Each structure stands twice: as C-alpha cells, then as structure tokens.
Amino acid sequence: MGNAVQTLEQLEQQVKMLQSKESALKRLLEVEHILEATFDLRKLLNSIVSFAAELVEAEKGFLVLKEDEKDELHVEAGYHLRENAVDSSFPLEQCVCAKAFQSGDPVIVSTSHQESLKRFVTREEHFRPIDRSDCEFACTPLKTRGRIIGMLVVVKGADATPFPKTSVELLELFAGQAAIAVENTRLLRQVASTTRSIIATSIRALEARDPYTRGHSDRVAVMCEQICRKLGLPEEHIETIVNAAKLHDVGKIGIADTILHKSEMLYEEEAGIMREHPLVGVRLLEATPLLRQEALLVKHHHEHFDGNGYPDGLSGEHIPLGARIIAVADAFDAMISDRPYRKAMSRAAALAEIKRMSAVELDPNIVSSLIALESGQPKV
Ligand SMILES: [Fe+2]
C-alpha cells in the first residue's frame, strides 16, 4: 500500500513537471515570434531578459554582451534590477558568469557553494547588477556560430528554491533562439547603417555637383534635429527623422542633370519626372527592412498640409510627423540658399514666407517651432 501511494505521488509529480514543461515550451514558441518581429535591439534584449526570468520564476535577471576582442562586459538589459545597473560595464573576470564564459556551458553559481562569489558581491562599483541578498545565479551563454556573444543571467534570492535542472534546460533552449535573434538584429542594423552611409555619400556627391544644393540635405537634417528637440520628441523618433532628412532627396539620384540643374521653369513632363523622386527614394530604401520608417518619411516629404501635395495628397495629421518636419526644414533651407534663378533670401524674409505657407503647405505647429528657434538665432 505504502509503495502504491509513493508511486502515485511520484506520478503526480511527474505529471505536474510535464505540465509546467509544456506550458513553458508553449511560451517559448510564443516568444520566438516576438524575437523574429523586433528590430529594435534594446527592446529585444529587454524582452529576452524579462521572458527568461519569468520562464524560470527568477526574481531578477540581466543580459551582458561582450565586445569583440575585449574582455569587458556591458549590461545591456535588466529585469527588476536596481537603478543605473543597465549600461554599466565591467571586466569579464569580475562577472559571476566568468566560468560559464570559459566553459561555454550553463553554470549555476550559488553563494552557499562558492566562497569566491563574495568578491563579485562586495565589488559593487564594478558589478552593479548583484546585491548581497542574491543567492543563486543561472548563467546561460548566448552562442551563435560557435561564438559566445554574451550571457543571460537570472537570479534568485536567499529564500527562493534553487533552480531545478529543467529550468537550466529551458534557459539553454531559449538562449539558443535569443542569441540568433540578437545576432540577426545586429547584422540588420549593420546593413542599415552601411546602406544609410552609402546613400548619404551618394547624395552629398549629387549635391556637390551643383553649387546651389551643396550641403542641403545635411543642413536640413541639422534643422530637423533642432525642431524635433523643440517639439520634445523621444530620442528614437529624432534619430529616424534626422536619418530620413539626410536621405530625403535620394530619389533625385536618377534624374538627369539637365532637369535637376535647369535654371528656367520646368516643362510639365520634366516637372512630372521631378515629382517622382519621393517614390524612387522609397523603392531604394524599402529594400532594407530597418530603413522602412525612414522610407515612409522620404515618401511623404512633399505632401502639403492642405492635401494638395504629392505623391498621395495626404493632409494634416495623416502626413507622418517626421515628413511634416522635413517639409518645413527643406523649404526654409531652400529659401535661404542661392538658386540659379534667384539670390538667397534673408532669414527674416524666408521666415515671413514660411509663415505665409503655414496651414497651407506646412504644419502650423512645426512652423511655430521654427519661428521660436529662429527668434533665438542671430539675425542675418
Ligand atoms: Fe524633395
């Protein structure tokens, strides 16, 4: 009888364990979709840590990445960490996960088993993610193509039950997926940044051929950044808008110089070709997935606030905010630059003209920001 009860209990325990494994595996599959859909590296790393911590019921967690060639780790993301812990750096040998880096396998570090952990705990200035109350650390290497790119560490406090073997197995499975997602996102960002530099260089070369447009896109980008800051936009939006501003006329690359540099009025057919440039720009940028946001702003930088612009005739707030900002900076810089058919306008005269265009071609709110910025500028 005693044996039968014991077997039943064991069976129940096994069923429970399998159930928890099943639900954890289901969550693993769910999170794979999230990993595939995120191009934002910081968001991706935060999702990885919080998911890993929740998966194995840890109290805290953090993710460190290792810089190539350097023996230094950088805390990229954290879950329930103290303030300022994220973004700190420290030498690899001072990390609780140093052993896992060496072996390439998951390692559980426990304060009760490892006297040496004290040196990590006490040297808070070097290793902020760790507290004295932390008791057990499951360190799982993030490996791609045989290389360890970083470490996923989840942490339990003194009163918690230790990490079971199944947790370590789950973390290892998850870390495999997470490492691929991190590497892919890094590669995509690299591709996007190289593409951006190539396009920006081509634009500079295009503008340099014409003394009237030399440096135009870079000046528009600087002005866009100032307007964005005046409007109090979040940093990631500013980055996208500034990048799009540098590339806004990329579609002009394919337009013949005879049209591009013509000093007289364009014939209808030539004007039609010029009006194509936002769409040509989109086609060039859309091929790179991480430039899609910028492509959208490039597409709409000639829309008018009243709906009479091109290519889609969008109006008001239907025009993406970044495109409305680029439109204002683009118009203002064109006015204060020499053109083949007229001399540059003074900043004051250009500002008066911009005011006339407010609510017709340009967003009145952004025009106000430009006016406010200009009122702080020395008058020319
Ligand atoms: Fe343009």
Report how far ligand 1's centroid is from the alpha carbon of 248 (Å): 6
Predicted local confidence at residue 121, as pLDDT: 44
Whole-number Cα distances in Å, 160 to 52, 136, 322 = 17, 9, 49
**Angle 53-59-62 from CA coordinates, rounded to 5°:** 55
Query: Is 209-375 CATH 3.30.565.10?
Result: no
- How many Å separate Cα 10 from the centre of its chain? 49
Predicted local confidence at residue 127, as pLDDT: 47
Report how far ligand 1's centroid is from the alpha carbon of 207 (Å): 12
Predicted local confidence at residue 38, as pLDDT: 65
Predicted local confidence at residue 380, as pLDDT: 45
Mean pLDDT of the residues in the chain: 84
CATH of domain 12-186: 3.30.450.40
Report how far ligand 1's centroid is from the alpha carbon of 327 (Å): 8
Is the model's pLDDT at 59 over the cut of 50?
yes
**Angle 7-13-14 from CA coordinates, rounded to 5°:** 90
Contact 332, 350 (CB under 8 A): yes
Report how far ligand 1's centroid is from the alpha carbon of 377 (Å): 26
Specify the residue for token string 């230094």: 72
Rounded distance between C-alpha atoms, residue 256 and residue 108, angstroms:
65
DSSP-assigned states of every residue in 199-263? HHHHHHHHHHTSTTTTTHHHHHHHHHHHHHHHHT--HHHHHHHHHHHHHTTGGGGGS-HHHHT--
The ranges assigned to domains in the chain are 12-186, 209-375
Proportion of the chain above pLDDT 70, given as a percent? 83
Report how far ligand 1's centroid is from the alpha carbon of 192 (Å): 21
Predicted local confidence at residue 208, as pLDDT: 80
Tens digit of each residue's pLDDT (9 = 90 or more) over 14-46: 666 666 666 666 666 666 666 666 667 888 888
Report how far ligand 1's centroid is from the alpha carbon of 295 (Å): 13
Residue 30 tokens, joined: 């769910």
Report how far ligand 1's centroid is from the alpha carbon of 251 (Å): 8
Torsion angle defined by CA atoms of residues 374, 375, 379 and 380, in that order, rounded to the nearest 10 degrees? 20
| Confidence grade of residue 271 (pLDDT, cut at 50, 70, 90) | very high
Rounded distance between C-alpha atoms, residue 286 and residue 13, angstroms:
53
Report how far ligand 1's centroid is from the alpha carbon of 299 (Å): 9
Tens digit of each residue's pLDDT (9 = 90 or more) over 91-133: 887 777 888 888 999 988 876 544 545 545 444 444 455 665 6
